[in-house]
């Protein structure tokens, strides 16, 4: 980890070799390039807490909105599980409502919960603090971004109340069925869904430009890219992916809206229904699939990369050890991000394509396993001989590694054309993507909330409730999704309202009931978690400053919790990476990023 830094190496002299005391010179850290950012200072309650331009408040607004809509997604999943587990007992869900639940559950969880929470929530809160900026570079645009997101969520919710209800086309919204009668919500539901997605993309672009430019152009003195916490690397790369992938979704949404409202035939082939020819002709449904998955596959990594980054930091802090192979981790994130743009058609193996294309996309898909495996090894090696504190963030991080490996390996199955074809559209696929991009990132979300909650509120979450939350969620997630792999192997198709007495359901009935019970238990535990969050806000145990003894800048602000402007009068100056734990030779257990070499003369720190 040695590199030249503006031609002035930061000399870190060890105790035995230093003849005199180390004199820090002014040129060790370059002068400030950027004039100090002017901030908008709110004067009223409305501009301070509602139409707020402070990225920290916007982050919390994003997180709360995403959580609220996420709970609607959770409740929808209960309805589906009750129907699947006990089809005779619970008949309140008709086939149409079932499809609508499936669709809304999927879209809410992927876009409105995970994407918004990781990038809008954690991104807004952590980026300025971690890179040492006063705020995002365009606070006003950042504020508009949140309100755009809120409108998108409200439009989505409105679709529950229009005639015909929300769309039931499946979260992939494949045409032609999405906009034809027979699919629930083909009247207004699909239109509102497409409008909501378009608004989300516009809102996200406003926020995303802020995240990218803040990281690239507004770091504090001494904060090089290779000294940023991996959390920032994950969020940064995911934001770049989102800025390049969401356009495809946006275009697909516009074209399908026009197909629906104006009667164009972008995605609509010649169709006969009830013996009558419709007015559509000549369009290509496959074109939609390409556009959708050109967005859809990077979307997986838009959710996963921030999780990768955050979990690296959690593991490092709670195991009191530096991240193993920091540079490798950074490059793995970037390479995964780049590769994610050339694998999209592995979602379309059964749509029909030239076999050589299948070969190409299978190859690129499997290549992604290499940087991903590097990351998993590095997490394990970070833990190896570390001083592992089994705090709740650490428990969730360990849970993440296990679930992610599990979901990743089933991904290798599905990446192969020949194995994917029989497994396609079965519960194996459902189990795979819930493990890899549902449970695994959510584990990180939970770990991150337990980790940063003291920073945001100044109080700890209740530890007992937290432990219950972890164990029930972790064991419960396996109870839900492990049997689903088996259901997939015996051929149970996904998205079916009821299996009736299909031959493969002999062993499937009991399993489905078991999964449903587990899903209800796990779901109720999330309500316990919500209770914990709200009660601990004013009743939780007070946290001392920097309770986890972390090195990154967000824990070392003059005010705790950090206030508007983040860093008081002077921005911090950064001398090292955020992973100087248990540095050999130093009597300090951890060395924060802003501690200069002269303050810890004995530390044999690596040059970063």
Partner 1 sequence: MSQFDLSKLPQGSKGFMHDWASDQRAFKGVPWGKAMMWIFLLSDTFIFSCFLIALMTARASTTVDWPYPSEVFGLTVFGTSVPLLLIAIMTFVLITSSGTMAIAVKYGYEKNRKLCGWFLLATAIGGLTFVGMQAFEWSKLIFHDGVRPWGNPFGAEQFGAFFFMVTGFHGTHVSIGVIFLFIFSRKVFRGDFDTGRRGYFTSMKSDYEAIEILGLYWHFVDLVWVFIFAFFYLW
Q: How far is CA 362 from CA 413, 437, 466, in A?
A: 10, 19, 41
Cβ atoms within 10 Å, residue 132:
26
Find the shortest distance in angstroms from Cβ 104 to partner 1.
Answer: 26
Is 1 a binding residue for partner 1 by CB under 8 A? The answer is no
DSSP classification of residue 595: -
Q: How far is CA 246 from CA 200, 215, 291, 299, 468, in A?
A: 9, 20, 10, 8, 37
Residue 135 tokens, joined: 């705020």
When binding is defined by CB under 8 A, the residue of 149, 250, 577, 590 that contacts partner 1 is 250
Find the shortest distance in angstroms from Cβ 212 to partner 1.
Answer: 6
Contact between 513 and 496 (Cβ < 8 Å)? no
Find the shortest distance in angstroms from Cβ 355 to partner 1.
Answer: 19
DSSP classification of residue 46: I
**Spatial distance between the Cα atoms of 214 and 212, rounded to a whole number of angstroms:** 6
When binding is defined by CB under 8 A, the residue of 68, 180, 251, 328 that contacts partner 1 is 251
When binding is defined by CB under 8 A, the residue of 99, 266, 433, 452 that contacts partner 1 is 266
Three-state DSSP class for 579?
A: coil
Is 254 a binding residue for partner 1 by CB under 8 A? The answer is yes
Find the shortest distance in angstroms from Cβ 183 to partner 1.
Answer: 21
Dihedrals phi, psi of 48, to nearest 5 degrees = -90, -40
Helix (H) or strand (E) holding 132: none
Residues in contact with partner 1, shown as a per-residue x/- string from 15 to 44 under the rule CB under 8 A: --------------xxxxxxx--x-x----
Is 225 a binding residue for partner 1 by CB under 8 A? The answer is yes
Is 219 a binding residue for partner 1 by CB under 8 A? The answer is yes
Is 327 a binding residue for partner 1 by CB under 8 A? The answer is no
Find the shortest distance in angstroms from Cβ 234 to partner 1.
Answer: 17
Find the shortest distance in angstroms from Cβ 287 to partner 1.
Answer: 5
Residue span binding partner 1 (CB under 8 A) among the ranges 4-12, 327-335, 443-451, 459-467: 4-12
Contact between 266 and 256 (Cβ < 8 Å)? yes
Contact between 5 and 12 (Cβ < 8 Å)? no
**Spatial distance between the Cα atoms of 302 and 333, rounded to a whole number of angstroms:** 11
Residue span binding partner 1 (CB under 8 A) among the ranges 187-195, 279-287, 375-383, 580-588: 279-287
Closest CA to 302 of 433, 114, 73, 112: 114
Write out the binding residues for partner 1, residues 157-216 only, by CB under 8 A: 205, 209-210, 212-213, 216
Is 279 a binding residue for partner 1 by CB under 8 A? The answer is yes
Q: How far is CA 473 from CA 56, 67, 399, 443, in A?
A: 28, 17, 10, 9
Is 291 a binding residue for partner 1 by CB under 8 A? The answer is yes
Is 241 a binding residue for partner 1 by CB under 8 A? The answer is no
Q: Please tell me the number of Cα atoms within 13 Å of 123 on its side-chain side.
A: 34
Residue span binding partner 1 (CB under 8 A) among the ranges 60-68, 86-94, 246-254, 581-589: 246-254
DSSP classification of residue 276: E
**Spatial distance between the Cα atoms of 275 and 298, rounded to a whole number of angstroms:** 40
Residue span binding partner 1 (CB under 8 A) among the ranges 1-9, 390-398, 443-451, 597-605: 1-9
Is 235 a binding residue for partner 1 by CB under 8 A? The answer is no
When binding is defined by CB under 8 A, the residue of 113, 255, 300, 423 that contacts partner 1 is 255
Binding site for partner 1 (CB under 8 A): 3-6, 29-35, 38, 40, 137-138, 140, 205, 209-210, 212-213, 216-227, 243-244, 246-248, 250-252, 254-255, 258, 262-266, 279, 281-284, 287, 291, 294, 574
């Amino acid at each position: 980890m040695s590199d030249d830094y503006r031609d002035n190496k930061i000399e870190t002299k060890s105790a035995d070799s230093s003849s005199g005391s180390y004199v820090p010179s002014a040129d060790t850290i370059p002068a400030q390039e950027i004039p100090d950012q002017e901030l908008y200072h709110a004067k009223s309650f409305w501009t301070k807490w509602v139409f707020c331009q402070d990225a920290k408040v916007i982050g919390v607004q994003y997180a709360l909105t995403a959580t609220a809509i996420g709970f609607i997604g959770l409740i929808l999943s209960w309805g589906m599980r009750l129907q699947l587990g006990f089809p005779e007992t619970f008949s309140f869900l008709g086939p149409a409502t079932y499809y609508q639940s499936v669709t809304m559950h999927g879209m809410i969880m992927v876009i409105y919960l995970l994407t918004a929470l990781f990038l809008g929530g954690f991104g807004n809160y952590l980026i300025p603090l971690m890179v040492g900026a006063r705020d995002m570079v365009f606070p006003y645009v950042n504020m508009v971004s949140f309100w755009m997101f809120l409108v998108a969520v409200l439009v989505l919710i409105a679709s529950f109340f229009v005639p015909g209800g929300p769309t039931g086309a499946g979260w992939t919204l494949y045409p032609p069925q999405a906009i034809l009668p027979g699919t629930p919500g083909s009247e207004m539901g699909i239109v509102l869904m497409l409008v909501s997605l378009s608004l989300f993309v516009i809102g996200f672009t406003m926020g995303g430009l802020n995240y990218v430019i803040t990281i690239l152009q507004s770091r504090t003195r001494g904060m090089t890219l290779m000294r940023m916490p991996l959390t920032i690397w994950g969020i940064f790369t995911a934001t770049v992916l989102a800025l390049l992938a969401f356009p495809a979704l946006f275009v697909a949404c516009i074209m399908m809206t026009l197909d629906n409202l104006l009667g164009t035939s972008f995605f609509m082939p010649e169709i006969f229904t009830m013996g009558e020819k419709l007015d559509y002709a000549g369009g290509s449904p496959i074109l939609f699939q390409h556009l959708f998955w050109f967005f859809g596959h990077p979307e997986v990594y838009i959710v996963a990369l921030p999780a990768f980054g955050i979990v690296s930091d959690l593991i490092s802090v709670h195991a009191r050890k530096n991240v193993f192979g920091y540079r490798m981790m950074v490059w793995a994130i970037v390479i995964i991000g780049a590769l994610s743009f050339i694998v999209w058609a592995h979602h379309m193996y059964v749509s029909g394509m030239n076999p050589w294309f299948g070969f190409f996309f299978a190859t690129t898909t499997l290549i992604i396993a290499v940087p991903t495996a590097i990351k998993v090894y590095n997490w394990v090696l970070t833990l190896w001989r570390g001083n592992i504190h089994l705090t709740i963030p650490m428990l969730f991080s360990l849970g993440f590694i296990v679930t992610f490996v599990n979901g990743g390996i089933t991904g290798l199955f599905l990446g192969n054309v020949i194995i994917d074809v029989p497994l396609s559209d079965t519960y194996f696929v459902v189990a795979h993507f819930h493990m890899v991009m549902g449970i695994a990132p959510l584990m990180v979300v939970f770990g991150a909330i337990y980790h940063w909650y003291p920073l945001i509120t100044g109080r700890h979450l209740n530890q007992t409730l937290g432990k219950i939350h972890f164990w029930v969620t972790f064991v419960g997630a396996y109870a839900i999704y492990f049997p689903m792999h088996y259901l997939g192997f015996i051929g149970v198709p996904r998205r079916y309202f009821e299996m009736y007495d299909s031959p493969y359901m002999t062993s499937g009935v009991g399993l489905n009931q078991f999964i449903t019970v587990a899903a209800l238990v796990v779901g109720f535990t999330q309500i316990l978690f919500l209770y914990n969050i709200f009660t601990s806000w004013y009743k939780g145990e007070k946290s001392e400053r920097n309770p986890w003894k972390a090195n990154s800048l967000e824990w070392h602000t003059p005010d705790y919790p950090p206030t508007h402007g983040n860093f008081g009068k002077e921005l911090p100056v950064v001398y090292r990476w955020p992973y100087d734990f248990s540095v050999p030779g130093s009597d300090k257990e951890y060395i924060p990023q802003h501690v200069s070499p002269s303050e810890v003369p004995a530390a044999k720190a690596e040059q970063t």
